[in-house]
Chains A and B, each alone.
Chain A
């Protein structure tokens, strides 16, 4: 059976893509996180509203980079995932 990613997992995937590239354009995030355009827009807006990423203009393009809060979340997520796994909680 195909396993769908949870909302949190999708957000983490987006943060990982941005972290890996330093600054990422929406197209890179779209392919890296394997999302449709509409869903990507929705998630990027949510991440921005939560202060996890920041939108910038760079050479006529829109790019996203992680905020310190986003970076902290990415680092803590592994611990959270392991804790959840230990207690049988599927993220």
Chain B
């Protein structure tokens, strides 16, 4: 039952990520700004990863154990790659604005969950910080919604780390719920955009 919920949360988040990706792609084809292309690529990889993990969790059983494990692995790698692409997109923005560049060094990807989460928190904090700067400058409600969405995504990884050390399903549920809430907020932002 728990796996079904987690799978459904992942699938929903994945579909929303794909919608964001599609919208970013449309923006890219219209204005040819590479940052939109990176946003599209990032959410596409994230969405596909979550979709695969979600589907595998939905069909989770003893017989599909290896499939689930593989999908979890793929999702972990996909997530880090997508966050790195996001970080690059926001770094491009800082460079174009002539601001101090915070270095994004190539990271070795570890397929161990707390490490993946730690890297994810670092990259997401960087992205969220950049969105926060824009929020302070523009004070737009839409930016606030996306800022909260990315902050929730950070919390999702924090809960995931806690869940690794505290043997309770609660943190796993909290992690997936925070992720789902984050993508629902992104969907709301998209709907407000039109």
CB pair A88–B190 under 8 Å, yes or no, is no
Which of A77, A80, A86, A91 contacts B143, CB < 8 Å?
A: A86
Number of interface residues of B (CB under 8 A): 32
Is B90 interfacial (CB 8 A cutoff)? Answer: yes
A73 to B147: give the CA distance in the assembly, Å. 27
Please indicate the chain A residues that have their CB under 8 angstroms from the CB of B140 in the complex.
85-86
CB pair A85–B143 under 8 Å, yes or no, is yes
CB pair B31–A80 under 8 Å, yes or no, is yes
CB pair B193–A82 under 8 Å, yes or no, is yes
Please indicate the chain B residues that have their CB under 8 angstroms from the CB of A91 in the complex.
31, 33
Is A58 interfacial (CB 8 A cutoff)? Answer: no
CB pair B35–A89 under 8 Å, yes or no, is yes
Please indicate the chain B residues that have their CB under 8 angstroms from the CB of A87 in the complex.
39, 131, 143, 146
Known: A76-B30, A80-B27, A83-B27. A88 touches B133 (CB 8 A): yes
Is A90 interfacial (CB 8 A cutoff)? Answer: yes
Q: Within residues 1 to 60 of chain B, which ones have a CB less than 8 A from any CB in chain A?
A: 23-24, 26-27, 30-31, 33, 35-36, 39
Is A84 interfacial (CB 8 A cutoff)? Answer: yes
CB pair A88–B131 under 8 Å, yes or no, is yes
Q: Within residues 111 to 135 of chain B, which ones have a CB less than 8 A from any CB in chain A?
A: 130-135
Which of A80, A85, A90 contacts B142, CB < 8 Å?
A: A85
Please indicate the chain B residues that have their CB under 8 angstroms from the CB of A76 in the complex.
26, 30
